[in-house]
Amino acid sequence: MTFGTAALSDAHGGKVKIGLITTLTGGGASLGVDTRDGFMLAIDQAGNDMVEVIVEDDERAPDVAVQVADKMIQSDKVDILTGIVWSNLALAVAPAANAQGKFYVSTNAAPAQLAGKGCNQDYFAVSYQNDNLHEAAGAHAKASNYSKPFILAPNYPAGQDSLTGFKRLYGGELAGELYTKLGQTDYAAEIAQIRASEADSIFFFLPGGMGISFLKQLADSGIELPVIGPAFSFDQTILPAVGDSALGVHNTSQWNKDIDNEANKKFVEGFEDAYGRLPSLYAAQAYDTANLILSAVEKAGIADHDAFRAALKEADFASVRGKFSFGNNNHPIQDIYVREVIKEGDVYTNKIISTVLTDHQDVYAAECGLSN
Amino acid sequence: MSTILLIEQILNGLQFGVMLFLMAAGLTLIFGVMGLINLAHGSLFMIGAFVAAAGAAATGSFVLGLIAALMAAALFGALIELTVIRRLYARDHLDQVLATFALILIFSEATRWVFGSFPLYLDTPEFLSGTVTLPGGILYSKYRLAIILIGLAVAAGLFLLISKTRVGMRIRAGENDREMIGALGVDISILYTMVFALGAALAGLSGALVGAIQSVEVGMGEPVLILAFVVIVIGGIGSIKGALAGAVLVGLTDTLGRSLLPLLFALFMDPSAATSVGSALASMLIYILMAGVLLFKPTGLFGSA
C-alpha cells in the first residue's frame, strides 16, 4: 500500500521517504488504524510533495515488524521509520534501524531501555516516555489523598514499568499490588481480592481489550471505588465498547480533544471530517509525529543527516498538545492532565479536569549520554 | 485469606471452568467423532460474541442477541463443515491444522471487514446486572451465577443427548467405527454436519455469554482455544465427562492459583517480588497440571487408549 503526494522515479531525488509500520490486523488493530489515520491526515493537510509514506502491517508480532522494517530499509530505501504501537516491537525495530543510519520517530511506544542508557541520537519519541502517564496517575492519587490504592497491571515489561511509575510519584501505602497475565480476559479473582482488601481506590494499567474486560467486570461486581488509570484504557478507540462502566473514571493523558489551540482544532475537526469518528490519543500522537517530520523537511534536506536531526530536535511544529519540546534524550518535556470520562449526547469521551504535572520529563533522561 | 473470599474464588473458578467446558465440549466431540482437529473453533466463539453484540444492539434485547448468536454459530459451523471440513476427514492431522488455521485468518479478517477494527459493545442484561447475596454473606455477580447454571444445564443436556438418545447412540458409534455405522445405513455425512453444528453452537453460546463481561474484539477466540485444548487433553480426548472434569479442574486451578500463590510467596518474600514470582508461576500452573495428569494418565482422566 502506498500513500503519498509524489510519484517517484528513482530512489531519492531529495524526497523524504517514511516507512510507517503499525498494527492493522489482528488484536489491537484499532490502535494501529488510528495511528495510520492520524499520521496520514497531517501528511494530506500539508500537501508537501517532498514526502512519501509507505504503510505496512506488523500484525503485532515482533518478527513480522523486523521483517517489514528490513524490507523498508533495504528495498524501499526509506529514510525514517515510525508508527509502532507496542514497546516489544519498538525494541526489536528501533535500535536496528538506528544502527543502519535511519531515523526512528516513535508515535507511541517509548520503553525505558531506549530513554536511558540505550538512548540514541537518531531515536525520537514524540508521544511520552512509557512511565509518564503512570507517574501522573500516582501524583493524582496522592493529590486526591487516597491512602490505600489497589494497583494492578499485566506481568510484562510495560506493566512492571507502569506500577513502578505509579509508585514513584504516589509514594504512600498500598492496599495491594497484583500482576495479571498478559491478554487475560477474566478478572473475577482479582476483583474478589480488591473487594477483600479494603482499598479506597483502584489504579490499573490494562491496555486494549484487557481494560474493557476489567472495567465491565468491575462494574458488575458492585465495587464502587474511585478508579484511576492511564489514558490507554479510556481512550476513544475503546470507550464505546466499555459504555457506562467507564463514566466518571479519572485518567491521565498528555492530550485531549478539548485542549484549546489552533493545531488541535484543525486536527480534531479534520479527523472527524476525514474519518467520521473522534480521534484517539494514538491518532493525536501520530499527527504530531507527522507534523514534526514535516517541520524538519521544511528546514533541512534528508541528505544532510546531522542537519535533519538538528531540525527534528528543535521540534518547531504546532503540537496539538500546545507546548512541546524534547529533553536531552529526545523524549518529550510536556504537561500531563487528568481527564474524566463523560458522555456528550450519545458519545463517550473525555474532558480535562486538571493539570497534574507541568513540564514533566522522564527519570531516565539523566542516564542518557546525549546533551541538548 | 478469609473463608468468604475463598468461597467466592471457588465460585469464580467454577464459572471460568463452566465457560471453558462449553468451548471444550464441541472441540472434543468433533475430535472424538470425526477425528478432526479444528483450530477454527475459537473463530466460532468470536462469531458468537460479535453476533450477540450486534443482535443485542439492533433489537435492544440480550436474549434475542443470544439466540441469534447460537443460530449464527451453528449455521457457520454447518457451512464450513459442508464446504471445507468434509474434505479433510481422510487427510492427516497436519493438513487439518493447516486448513483450519487458514479458516481462523479468513474469519478474523472477514469479521473486521464486517464490524470494523474497534471492539463492540455488549452489556449484561438488566435482570442479571449487579450482585446477589448468597448464604454466608457472600456477594456474588448475578451474571456469573447465571453462567454457572447455564453451563451445568448444558452439560447435563449433552450428557443425556449422548447417553440416552438415538442420535447420541449414533455419535458414540461413529466415534468407534465410522465405516460400520455407514454400512448399517446411517447417513454419516448428515451426522457429521449435525455434530459440527452442535459443537459450533456451543462455542457460539460460550462466546455470547462471555462477550457481555469481556471485550468483544477480533482475535478474542484464540486464547480460549488454547485453554480448551488443555482441557480436552487433561479430560481425555473425545469424552464429554472428561471435558467437564478437565474444564472445572483448569478453571479452579487457574483462579485459585492466581489468588493464592502471590499470598503464599508473600509469606517469605517482600510483597513486590512475591506478586511478580507468584503471578509468573500462576500463569504456568495449568500447564504444570496438564503435565502432571499426563504423567499418571497418558490418555487423560477419562480418555480411552
pLDDT for B4 beyond 90: no
**Contact residues on chain A for B1, CB-CB shorter than 8 A:** 196
Tens-of-pLDDT digits for all 372 residues of chain A? Answer: 445 444 333 345 678 999 999 999 877 788 999 999 999 999 999 998 899 999 999 988 999 999 999 999 999 999 999 999 998 899 999 999 999 999 999 999 999 999 999 999 999 999 999 999 999 999 999 999 999 999 999 988 788 889 999 999 999 999 999 999 888 889 999 999 999 999 999 999 998 888 989 999 998 888 999 999 999 989 898 898 888 889 999 999 999 999 999 999 999 999 999 999 999 999 999 999 999 999 999 999 999 999 999 999 999 999 999 999 999 999 999 999 999 999 999 899 999 999 999 999 999 999 999 987
pLDDT of res. B305: 57
Q: Are A25 and A90 in contact (CB under 8 A)?
A: no
- Cβ distance B119 to A212 less than 8 Å, yes or no, reads yes
Q: What is the pLDDT of residues B69-98, one digit of tens each?
A: 999 999 999 999 999 999 998 889 999 999
Nearest Cα to A313, choosing from A35, A120, A32? Answer: A120
Q: How far is A177 from chain B (nearest CA, A)?
A: 7
- In contact, A291 and A43? CB cutoff 8 Å: no
Answer whether B215 sits within 8 Å of A241, measured CB to CB.
Answer: yes
Residue B173: pLDDT band with limits 50, 70, 90: confident
A30 Cα to chain B: minimum distance (Å): 5
Total CB pairs under 8 A between chain A and B: 137
Q: Which residue has the higher pLDDT, B117 or A45?
A: A45
B259: nearest CB among A193, A240, A242: A193
Give per-residue pLDDT as tens, B210-251. Answer: 999 998 998 899 989 999 999 999 999 888 899 999 999 999
Residue A245: the pLDDT is 87
Q: How far is the alpha carbon of A74 from chain B, nearest alpha carbon, in Å?
A: 29
Q: What is the mean pLDDT of chain B?
A: 91
Q: What CA–CA distance (Å, rounded) separates A274 from A38?
A: 10
- Kindly determine whether residue A25 and residue B112, on different chains, have CB atoms separated by under 8 Å: yes
> Which chain B residue is nearest to residue A219, measuring alpha carbons?
B130
% of chain B at pLDDT higher than 70: 99
- pLDDT score of A286: 98
* pLDDT score for A13: 61
pLDDT at B118: 85
Instruction: Find the CB nearest A220 among B4, B213, B271.
Output: B213
**CA–CA dist B207, B213 (Å, integer):** 10
pTM of the complete model: 0.86
Q: In this complex, which of B118, B143, B280 lies closest to A155 when CB atoms are compared?
A: B280
CB A213 within 8 A of CB A189: no
- Which of A24, A31, A164, A185 is most worth mutating to test chain B (most B CB atoms within 10 A of its CB)? A185
Render chain B in DSSP notation, one character per residue: --HHHHHHHHHHHHHHHHHHHHHHHHHHHHHHHH----TTHHHHHHHHHHHHHHHHHHHS-HHHHHHHHHHHHHHHHHHHHHHTGGGTTTS-HHHHHHHHHHHHHHHHHHHHHHH-SSPB-----GGG-SEEEETTTEEEEHHHHHHHHHHHHHHHHHHHHHHHSHHHHHHHHHHH-HHHHHHTT--HHHHHHHHHHHHHHHHHHHHHHHHTTS-B-TTTHHHHHHHHHHHHHHH-TT-HHHHHHHHHHHHHHHHHHHHHHHHHHHTTS-HHHHHHHHHHHHHHHHHHHHHHHHHH-TT-TT---
Whether the pLDDT of residue B178 is over 80: the answer is no
Interchain proximity B210–A243, CB inside 8 Å: no
Looking at the predicted structure, is the pLDDT value of residue B54 above 80? yes
User: Does A283 contact chain B (CB < 8 Å)?
Assistant: no
Return the SS3 of A160.
helix
At A6 the pLDDT is: 42
